[in-house]
Amino acid sequence: MAFTHWYSMVVISLLAMLIMDNIQPIMSQPEQTQALIDKICRSNEDFGFCIKTFNDNLKDPATDIAGLTRIAIDQCLSNSSNTLGFIGQLLSNTTDEPTKNALVACQNAYQVVLKSYQDASVEFDSKDYEDMRKSESVTPRAQASCETSFSTPPNPVDLLVERNRQMRILITMAVATGIELGSPSP
């Protein structure tokens, strides 16, 4: 009798361990979305800006990685286009030669960023995620070249500090979501 009781306890313990090992933590879809946003935003220089950008643009609280990638690409398109317009306005009102040169360099850089995200958007829509990531891969260096243009002597006042910071964050978000989109699911 004692053997049967002991045997039953071992079998029950083994079954419990087997079941517990195979149960994944269950989260609701919105919780999964927020966990994914948190994961992406942890790789960013401004966690709060990243979280706010995603949450302000969620069409559905149960958005998947593809939806987050779309948000990031759209934000990169909007920001780079708006920044190009702003640079155009600054150029038309600037007479200082070093500032004008820096702004022209930034205009060229943002044209590269905008074109890259226009291409990435088309590739995303075609589910060509590899080419989408390739299109995005040139954007960090292009955007950084704008920042560098203001640190080159004679060091004109950087009129694009905040716009460059936001673009840098958005690029990081887009690259991170693109990488996550291409990763196999656990």
CATH of the domain at 170: 1.20.140.40
Task: Assess if residue 17 is contained within a domain.
Answer: no
Nearest to 109 by CA among 150, 66, 55: 150
Query: Can you state the angle between helices 161-182 and 97-125, rounded to 10 degrees?
Result: 20
**Residue 11 banded pLDDT, cuts 50, 70, 90:** very low
**Per-residue model confidence as pLDDT tens digits over 139-166:** 999 999 999 999 888 888 899 999 999 9
Q: Is 154 part of a structural domain of the chain?
A: yes
Look at residues 135, 172, 159 and name the one whose alpha carbon lies nearest to residue 49. 172
Is residue 165 assigned to a domain?
A: yes
Domain count, the chain: 1
- For residue 185, the number of C-alpha atoms closer than 13 Å in the C-beta half-sphere is 4
pTM of this prediction?
Answer: 0.82
Residue at 73 is within a domain? yes
Residue range 117-125: mean pLDDT, rounded:
98
Q: Is residue 19 part of a domain?
A: no
pLDDT-derived band at 27, boundaries 50, 70, 90: low
Name which of 26-30, 35-39, 68-72, 92-96 the model is least confident about: 26-30
Task: State what percent of residues in the chain have pLDDT above 70.
Answer: 83
User: Is 164 domain-assigned?
Assistant: yes
List the domain range (segments joined by +) for residue 172: 29-182
Alpha-carbon distance 75 to 82, whole Å? Answer: 10
Intra-chain end-to-end CA distance of the chain, in Å: 45
86 within domain boundaries: yes
Cα–Cα distance, 43 to 157 (Å, whole number): 29
Instruction: Look at residue 23 and tell me if it is in a domain.
Output: no
